[in-house]
Amino acid sequence: MDRPIVLPIEPLRSARLDLEPLSVDHADEAAPLFADPALHTYTGGSPAGLDELRSRYRRQSVGSSPDGRDSWLNWMLRDRRSGRLVGTVQATVTPDRDGPAADLAWVVATAHQGQGCAREAAAVVADWLHEHGVHRLRAAIHPDHEASAGVARGLGLEPTDTVVDGEVRWQRG
């Protein structure tokens, strides 16, 4: 039987970024950062308002799914030089008979894209997961989203033939 995965989130650090565990307090700063509809070009939906973001962050910062089966690990990315938030990286770690697997996702605010922030932060999270026994990584990426495909390739993920809701599953391990 698959056992629940419990990974306590902790602050992480890359060359340029501090990865802060998500808290409700991040919502005030994050709401205007993620208000750009262009961020939803490949994922659909629309920007969350402040109250919706607070509610989402309250649920996500608990650290696990309601049934306790999955770990929800969410980090806010802060540029150390400017002190500003620039994006997020998240990992949902699920049990499986072959060992735990993590579904990764990343978002970088429009003004900070093209600077390698997503790749840098996702690599730190992937290394941290590996140190905690999570060796299988996955990401769901729209087939036209070249920037996210580049991040996935940088993590050693490869596209599979699996397509869910119009997104290609990339996988490593």
Task: Report how far residue 25's alpha carbon sits from residue 58's, in angstroms, rounded to the nearest whole number.
Answer: 9
Q: In terms of residue numbers, what domain contains 93?
A: 12-172
Evaluate whether residue 72 is within a structural domain: yes
Q: Is 152 inside any structural domain?
A: yes
Mean per-residue pLDDT, 68-81: 95
59 lies in a domain? yes
Q: Output the pLDDT for position 1.
A: 43
Nearest CA among 9, 21, 33 for reference residue 76: 21
* pTM recorded for the entire structure: 0.93
Q: Identify whether 5 is part of a domain.
A: no
Supply φ then ψ for residue 73, to 5 degrees.
-115, 115
Query: Is residue 34 over pLDDT 50?
Result: yes
Strand order in the sheet with 158-164: 12-13, 17-21, 71-79, 85-94, 101-108, 136-141, 167-172, 158-164
Strands 17-21 and 12-13: antiparallel
Q: What is the pLDDT of residue 2?
A: 62
In a domain, 154, yes or no: yes
The CATH number for 77's domain is: 3.40.630.30
Q: Is residue 129 part of a domain?
A: yes
* Structural domain contains residue 2: no
- Number of domains present in the structure of the chain: 1
